[in-house]
Structure formats: structure tokens, C-alpha cells
Amino acid sequence: MFPGSEPWAGNPVVPADCPDPDVIRVGETYYMASTTMHFFPGGEILQSRDLVHWSHAAYLFDTLPATPGRLLQPGHAIYGQGMWAPSLRHWQGVFYCLFAAQDTQEMFLYTAQAITGPWVRLPMAGFYHDPSLLFTEEGAYLAYGNSTIRILQLKPDLSGPMIDGDAGVVVVQEENPNLGYEGAHLQYIRGHFYLSLIHSRRDRWRRVQACFRADHVLGPYTGGDILDEDLGFRGQGIAQGGMVDTPDGHWYAVLFQDRGAVGRLPVLVPLAWRDGFPVPDQRQCLPAAVSLGEDCPLVSSDDFRGPIGPWWQFNHLPDWSLVCRDQERGAWRVRTGQVSHSPVEVRNSLTMRMLYPRCAASVWVEGADLREGDVAGLCALQGRYGMIGIARRGGTLQVVRINPGANDVEEHPLSALSGTSVRLAIAADFSGNTDTATLYWQQGTRWECAGTIALRFTLDHFTGCRFALTVYSTEDPGGTGVFRDFRCYRPGELGPGECFT
């Protein structure tokens, strides 16, 4: 157990939603894959030289086969599903990344010669919950499951199990009222096979990390819990991930912790070895910073004059015929293609992660080409959303706030718009138990507050809150919203002329 001692300074190491991390080291560079759910492009891989400072390296895919859910067609969505719990490996000079698509119950296995790709999909039969790949000289293996954890050997081409139905049960946890064993990470370390798993305490909800060891890949495995810690945050435990060593021989676990509405954030846990098992090491500090050089940030301001940056992801599969990045004029243009009734039903929303513990963003929104019933604006996007925008109502443009109501979407008129554009802003606060988004619009040189929305991480979306550039039609599709000069701010970055309060 850790009492919040000095070695924990610097956690979480990624202040943004990167759940289910899997980390490997190749040479002196670390790579992390994490769950990206319903966002496109997806399967993001981060890179680091020190396990503490992470930047974007690549996406596995720009698109997946179209389904009504992935296309966010009326009545369909893949919120809380999509790309889930990846396993990242490097074997004999080749990168592999495997994940389960929860929406279609199929496996996606990608391979590449370099981390930046191109990534090519290989066929794999079956469906395996929270899969973990392991390559050995004897062959490739796959650990997977929920409550009952199994391991099977794969065919040499990785297309499926060596023998149908030949999956050995290696660890079982029955009748846990909160969460049984899952999130497998299978590794070969120091002559032994290690199986890391997540589960919850039985007496209350709290994530716990367990680890089991065997002399043979198929067992028998013995072990138990190795970490039951919350860093003093809401009783939210730290778990689900694997272990990685540094070039100089130190070991760490890369796990995640629920941090409320901002999502699930990676945490770095120093490890020591005792009686052949990894145990948290209170004496070991986090690694010293090592620069990657020209890092590609996870979030960024954008004047829309260059190519679309990797910090942007679409909410679902986009329709590229309806969006346009006007680099000459510095604008992002979105035309509506269907009727929607709330921000969470909107295809072609362009999103960016929010940062813990606080962050803010602002953007100019142009509404001259909106049709009657259209809305365009800046959204704090998750199941319990909040949006500040421009709406065309009765032939005129007005500033509105939009949020969920008791039974339907609530739209609150705030002010008539004298022109056709306005600067909008959202300031999010995730510190402590705050979890709020405060909405603003600029009137002349003065910022006006449109109210504060309570944010909440829930299983309907299963992702952290994001900024979203959103345009939708409630009556007649075909209108266009235009966004310019998007700015994102970390704590302390707001200048005197941009203080929303």
C-alpha cells in the first residue's frame, strides 16, 4: 500500500483518457496502445523515452468496415463499444497489435514493420475478451476471458487457435459481485510466465491488480493480489496493464485509474521483485525525463491552415463528403447530412481529449449558412453533455445552451446574435470531485457565462469527456457550420484577454 509518498509524484503520467494501456519497450523507446472505442481514426499508439512523457506515434486504422452503429445512423451507435483493450507486441522485428471489437464481436489483428506503419490487418477467427498475445520460441499464445481466464496456442499464421476448443483454463474467480478477473496481460519474464489481471474487491467497488506465475505457459498458475491502492482518489483503485523494464534494469507496471468524468488515466507503478513476484516499490522514483525530440502532442490548438492533426478524432466513422478543412481560409466546415436531436446523435463531430485536472478551449463559430433548426457549437461530449452554440430559430441566429433534460434535450436561449459569428468557450474542472464544464460566449470584449454543467463518467459512453466541434440539423439537413481558430489551454495558459471569468 502506498500512502501518497514522494515516489508517486508525477502520476497520472498521462493526464488524459487512455484506458486499458499495454506498454512495450523496443530498444530505448516505449510504446503504449490503449482503448479508443468509437473514435476514428482509432487504435492510437503513443511513444515515450522515459515512461512519463508520452506523445502520439501512430493510429492502427483510419476506418473499419461500415456498420449502422459505426456510421451513427439514426437509432444506432457504438458508444461504449468499438475498439477495446489492445495487446501490443514486438517479435522478431515485427510489431503486432490485437484488439476485440465489442460492437461486432470480432477480432482485429494488425501488423507493421515500423510503429508508424503502414499497419496491415491479418485475419483472425473467433472472439476473445480482453486478449493478450505472447510470442515464444515454441509458438504464439493468447490469454483472454472474464472471471474464467483461458490460454490457447495460436496457429503459426495467427489466424485462429491451433486446435478448436483447445483453451486451457488457468485462473478462475467465480461470483465476484463487482468484477471478476479480466484484462489479461501475459508475459514471459526471467524464465517464468506472468499473467497480470484486474478485478474488484468483493466488499466494495475498487479495482485491484493481481499477478499469477507459472513455469509453463499453460500453467499451473499461482499468485494473487499485488496492488490495492487508490492514491487517495475516491477509492478508485489502480489496475489493468502489464509490466515493462528499462534499459538499466528497473521495472514498472503501467496501469490505469478512474479519475471521474475526464476518464481513465495511465499510472506508472515502480516495481521490485520478491520471491519471484513483482511488488510495488515505495523506494523507487519515477524515471527522469528524456526528450523524444519533436514530440507530437496529444492535444493542440489548431488554426485549420495545415493538415488535420492526430489530436483530432471523429466521434464515429465520418462522412468525408460533408466535411472540409479549408486551409487557405483557416476554417473547418461541416455540412449536415441527417436529422439529429441531440449532440450525441451527431455524425462528423470532431473531438479532442480533455486534460486532468483542468483545461479549457475556445473557438470561433460562423452560422451564416445554418438552416432553420440547425445548431453549431462547442460541446463537452459524453453521455451527460453540455454544449454552447449558435442556433437558427425563427430565421434569426441566437446563442444557446444545450444539455440533457429529465426526458429530452433542453435548449436554453441566451442572447440574440448581432452578426453571424461568435467565439465560444468551455472550461472543464476535474480536480477533486468537481467534474464540471462551464460554458461561455463572447459578447464584444466581455465573456458571458452560460452556466455550469455537471459531468459524469458513465457506462453508456465509457469514455472520458471531450471537446467536440458539433453541427446538427433538427429539421432540414444541408446547413453548414464553420469553425475557426480553435485554442486549447492547460492550467495557467489563459492570457489576460482570454480569461473566461
pLDDT-derived band at 2, boundaries 50, 70, 90: very low
Based on the fold, state whether residues 241 and 366 are members of the same structural domain.
no
Note whether residue 149 is domain-resident: yes
Domain that holds residue 340: 313-498
257, 280, 303 — which closes off a domain? 280
Based on the fold, state whether residues 257 and 403 are members of the same structural domain.
no
Task: For residue 292, give Cα distances in angstroms to 57, 86, 92, 243.
Answer: 11, 24, 24, 21
Based on the fold, state whether residues 326 and 274 are members of the same structural domain.
no
Percentage above 70 pLDDT, the chain: 95
- What CATH number is associated with residue 268? 2.115.10.20
Among 27-31, 313-317, 392-396, 487-491, the minimum mean pLDDT is found in: 487-491
238, 256, 280 — which closes off a domain? 280
Note whether residue 1 is domain-resident: no
- pLDDT on residue 464: 97
Note whether residue 304 is domain-resident: no
How many separate domains does the chain show? 2
Strand pairing report for 192-200 and 207-214: antiparallel
* CB within 8 Å of 130: residues ≥ 6 apart: 20, 84, 85, 100, 144, 145, 146, 182, 183, 184
- What CATH number is associated with residue 416? 2.60.120.200
pLDDT of 292-323, one tens digit each? 555 678 999 999 999 999 999 999 999 999 99
Is-above-0.85 flag for pTM? yes
Based on the fold, state whether residues 339 and 223 are members of the same structural domain.
no
Based on the fold, state whether residues 352 and 269 are members of the same structural domain.
no
Note whether residue 158 is domain-resident: yes
Residue 9 has pLDDT above 90, yes or no: no
C-alpha grid cell, residue 498: 482570454
- pLDDT on residue 166: 66
Based on the fold, state whether residues 207 and 336 are members of the same structural domain.
no
Based on the fold, state whether residues 200 and 348 are members of the same structural domain.
no
Based on the fold, state whether residues 70 and 142 are members of the same structural domain.
yes
DSSP state string for 405-416: -SSSEEEEEEEE
280, 302, 324 — which closes off a domain? 280
pLDDT of 323-381, one tens digit each? 999 999 999 999 999 999 999 999 999 999 999 999 999 999 999 999 999 999 999 99
